[in-house]
Amino acid sequence: MHPQRSPEPRPRRSGALLLAALLALAGLLWAGRADLPAHLARWTGGAARAQATLDYARLSPTLDAAALARQLDDLPLQCQALADGSACEAALAQANGLPAALLRASWQQGRLQAVDVLVPWWAHHRAVGMLTARLGAPGGHEVIAADGQRIAALSWSLPEGTVQVARAPGWNPLHWTALRWNATPPR
């Protein structure tokens, strides 16, 4: 008796279909990346995120939380006391026309010390362009500490403080770029 031939295995199509579905999802996310923070906010129940316009030239260490909120078109700030001062945050959908996730401000001894706006890495170069259009060419290149490492940063000097942003967005797509205003130290 001759041995029976086993049927030839059919190629698995489920792996190819899964790969095609993942590529399609990645393509959709890439095509809609400018709206991704707003979509994520809707999907996670945070659809009430605000749009803010921040005029860095009008920031001052003398602003309190209420004055900062008024300057940001009555943006609702969630504030909390800290051991050495206070901090306020607001969830954002956009800031100055850019996709954004968060605005964070910190005070020490009643003086506004810093204001951070977090934008996604894909909006980094647009953020630098927006700052250059509003504040002029960067006045300096510095090395700053961020997330435990030293990075090259662009800076703009203003009468009441300095605006800083990393010179390059980096390679981590999950990392948010911080547009940071630091108050000028008191004299």
Show the domain range for 115: 49-183
| Residue 10 counted as domain residue | no
What pLDDT is recorded for position 34?
59
Radius of gyration of the chain (CA): 23
| Beta strand pairing call for 85-95 and 50-52 | parallel
Neighbours of 96 (CB within 10 A): 20
Is 144 contained in some domain? yes
145 within domain boundaries: yes
The whole-number pLDDT of residue 175 equals 79
Number of domains in the chain: 1
21 belongs to a structural domain: no
- Is residue 43, in this structure, part of any structural domain at all? no
The reply to whether 3 falls in a domain is no
Say if 7 falls within a structural domain.
no
What's this model's pTM, rounded to 2 decimal places?
A: 0.72
| CA pair distance 182, 162, nearest whole angstrom | 5
Question: For every one of its 187 residues, what pLDDT tens digit does the chain have, with 9 covering 90 and above?
Answer: 666 776 666 656 777 788 888 887 777 666 666 566 655 655 555 556 788 999 999 999 999 999 999 999 888 899 999 988 999 999 998 999 999 989 999 999 889 999 999 999 889 999 999 999 999 999 877 766 666 667 788 999 999 999 999 888 877 777 788 999 999 887 7
Flag whether 13 is in a domain.
no
